[in-house]
Amino acid sequence: MKKTWNGLAISAAAIVVVYLLLHALGGREATAVLSGAAPLDARGALGVLYAGAHLALVALAPILALAAALRAGLERLVAADSASSVASRDASSSG
Amino acid sequence: MRRLGLTALSLVLAALVWLPCLHLVYGRDPDASFSAERVTPRARALAARHLALWSDPDARAREVARMRATNAEWDFMGRTFLVLALANMAAHDPPGSPERARALAAIDAIVEETLRLEEERGHQHFLMPYGRYGGWKADGRSVFVDGEVALMLGARRLVEERADWRPLLAERAERIVRALEGGPVLSGESYPDECWTFCNAAALAALRVHDALDRTDHGDLARRWLETARARLVEPTTGLLVSRYAWDGRVMEGPEGSSIWMVAHCLALVDEPFARDQYERARRELAIPALGFGLAREWPRSLPGHADVDSGPIVPGLEASAGSSGLAFLGASTFGDRAWLRGLQASLDLAGFPVEDGEGLRYAASNQVGDAVLLYAMVQGPLWAKVREALR
């Protein structure tokens, strides 16, 4: 079975990477644009992107990471359930 | 299809677990920042950055230019809020202590520079450009400038007397009285044919400070102002004071978050029950509680408006305003609303982008005036208590 939870975990990791990248580019300082004390130029755009990435980091990435763990657990449960159904079907057909 | 269902279920469950917990990550105890009994380490760290700015002329010039490029008022209000904050801090520190001496020296430098700039560049230097276009109904003086200058002079003198500032405060108080008494609704203009409750409430607070310091009595004027405001300046659906009106009392703009929190704070010196009622109404109309976070709207739900220089950016969907949310700290701190302070602080720590380094604390998404308001909210209490005590 394809591991769907991988996609969730990769998305969470991608948010972390984007955030760290914007942080390294000086995004935190550039958020001054949010107070209206700096123009919405390239640096201002960096600040807006950084703010978005920060919110994604604290609100979305943990949800994606948790969902990946839950999804992996659910996949195992479903796989175990399917295996036991197949086994009991095999047992009843051979009996 | 089943896979998609499992993924969606996982996402929903994860969101249900994480989102209600998010505020716990940012849920600092408000007592660690906001206190009328002591200066908290966080307030000291925030003040350190301001004090460093005022001891570095180049850095200050850059910050002032940055703010004036958007709004000349911010330059002036940043001074007022910082002076009020430093005066409250100095009131805590024992006489002769280096912290108190440093705060008083900074206050003196700020006020003296403000008076010099006003003298050299004109009374309208701290107003937005339309303040210079003419059309004033009275004498062309702004109660915004006179009121806040008087507050700064008085705040300094409440902590430690400066005899040479006594006539300066008396002169500003006289101008405020002339402006208020001369207006059809007992209000002075902040801009040509434009009165603001923010500025008139600050001016009234300054008169009460003057009363406390110099044994004058402006109680009757304050009472009459409140009677007039109740009759002419209260918006009927919300019961909140409007923010902007013409000199003759014609309402130009209804209640606004960026005004009402400061109005309630200032009127607490004039009529505490009325001020508290305004705060509680504003809290009901403007507060946005969301998953343990706190934000404030600029306009009541029933009276929508448009983003402007006072509201700051508006968060779409939530309708939260940077200006209103920042000044809400002052309202919540004045009226001891710890629950809301906790929520507001969680939002600030989440979206204000605090920067702590060797120079102290600041919020990257804020500016000097925003940080000064926050600092004032953290330390306010001693000055208003001194005034109330003197007027008792």
Output the six-digit token pair for B312.
């700051």
B364 and A70 in contact by Cβ < 8 A?
A: no
B370 and A32 in contact by Cβ < 8 A?
A: no
Helix axes of B98-121 and B41-54: crossing angle, nearest 10 degrees: 40
> In chain A, what are the domain boundaries?
5-84
pLDDT at B269 (0 to 100): 97
Which chain A residues touch B70 with a CB distance below 8 Å?
A: 36-37
**CA distances, A59 to each of A29, A72, B26, B275, B352 (Å):** 21, 21, 12, 37, 15
**Contact status, residue B290 vs residue B320, Cβ threshold 8 Å:** no
> Bridge partners of B241?
B234
Other C-beta atoms lying within 10 Å of the C-beta of residue B9? 14
The dihedral built from the CA positions of residue B249, B73, B361 and A37, taken in this order, carries a sign that is: positive
Asked if A91 reaches chain B (Cβ–Cβ under 8 Å), the answer is: no
Identify which of B98, B114, B94 has the alpha carbon closest to the alpha carbon of residue B54.
B114
Reported as a single tens digit per residue, the pLDDT across B187-231 is 999 999 999 999 999 999 999 999 999 999 999 999 999 999 999
**Contact status, residue B194 vs residue B244, Cβ threshold 8 Å:** yes
Please name the member of B10, B14, B322 whose beta carbon is closest to the beta carbon of A35: B322
pLDDT at B311 (0 to 100): 66
- At B240 the three-state DSSP class reads coil
pLDDT at A84 (0 to 100): 75
Give the span between the Cα atoms of B232 and B138, in whole angstroms. 20
- What's the DSSP call for residue B242? P
Choose, out of B16, B73, B353, the residue to mutate when testing the contact with A (most A CBs < 10 Å).
Answer: B353
Asked if A79 reaches chain B (Cβ–Cβ under 8 Å), the answer is: no
Please name the member of A2, A28, A71 whose beta carbon is closest to the beta carbon of B6: A71
B18 and A66 in contact by Cβ < 8 A?
A: yes
**CA distances, B327 to each of B177, B272, B320, B339, B345 (Å):** 27, 18, 12, 16, 12
Reported as a single tens digit per residue, the pLDDT across A52-86 is 999 999 999 999 999 999 998 888 887 777 777 77
Q: ipTM higher than 0.85?
A: no
**Contact status, residue A35 vs residue B312, Cβ threshold 8 Å:** yes
Output the six-digit token pair for B32.
């660690």
What type of residue is B165? Answer: W
B14 and A64 in contact by Cβ < 8 A?
A: yes
Q: Specify the residue for token string 């002419």.
A: B232
Q: Specify the residue for token string 């004027």.
A: B221
The dihedral built from the CA positions of residue B135, B136, B141 and B147, taken in this order, carries a sign that is: negative
How many residue pairs from chains A and B have C-beta atoms closer than 8 A? 90
Cβ neighbours for B340, distance < 8 A, ≥ 6 positions apart: B283, B287, B294, B328, B332
Give the span between the Cα atoms of B156 and B269, in whole angstroms. 17
Residue A94 has pLDDT above 70, yes or no: no
Give the span between the Cα atoms of A22 and A29, in whole angstroms. 11
Cβ neighbours for B212, distance < 8 A, ≥ 6 positions apart: B158, B386, B387, B390, B391
Give the span between the Cα atoms of B41 and B375, in whole angstroms. 12
Residue A13 has pLDDT above 80, yes or no: yes
pLDDT at A2 (0 to 100): 57
Give the span between the Cα atoms of B367 and B263, in whole angstroms. 22
Please name the member of A51, A63, A71 whose beta carbon is closest to the beta carbon of B15: A63
Helix axes of A42-55 and B338-351: crossing angle, nearest 10 degrees: 120
pLDDT at B301 (0 to 100): 84
Output the six-digit token pair for B35.
């206190």
Output the six-digit token pair for B88.
């409250």
Choose, out of A4, A8, A35, the residue to mutate when testing the contact with B (most B CBs < 10 Å).
Answer: A35
Give the span between the Cα atoms of B342 and B339, in whole angstroms. 5
- At B305 the three-state DSSP class reads coil
Please name the member of B25, B309, B365 whose beta carbon is closest to the beta carbon of A34: B365
Output the six-digit token pair for B135.
């059309």
Question: What's the predicted TM-score (pTM) here?
Answer: 0.91
**B65 or A48, which is more confident?**
A48
Which ranges of chain B have pLDDT less than 70? 1, 307, 309-312
B312 and A5 in contact by Cβ < 8 A?
A: no
Shortest alpha-carbon distance between residue B15 and chain A (Å): 5
Give the span between the Cα atoms of B187 and B142, in whole angstroms. 11
Helix H segments across chain B? 2-26, 41-54, 57-70, 72-92, 98-121, 143-159, 166-182, 197-214, 219-232, 257-267, 272-286, 322-334, 338-351, 368-379, 382-391
**Torsional class of B360: left (φ above 0), alpha (ψ -120 to 50), beta (otherwise):** left
Give the span between the Cα atoms of B296 and B344, in whole angstroms. 9
The dihedral built from the CA positions of residue A61, A66, A69 and A70, taken in this order, carries a sign that is: negative
> Bridge partners of B354?
B363
The dihedral built from the CA positions of residue B278, B281, B286 and B290, taken in this order, carries a sign that is: positive
pLDDT at B385 (0 to 100): 97
Asked if A8 reaches chain B (Cβ–Cβ under 8 Å), the answer is: yes
Asked if A55 reaches chain B (Cβ–Cβ under 8 Å), the answer is: yes
pLDDT at A93 (0 to 100): 67
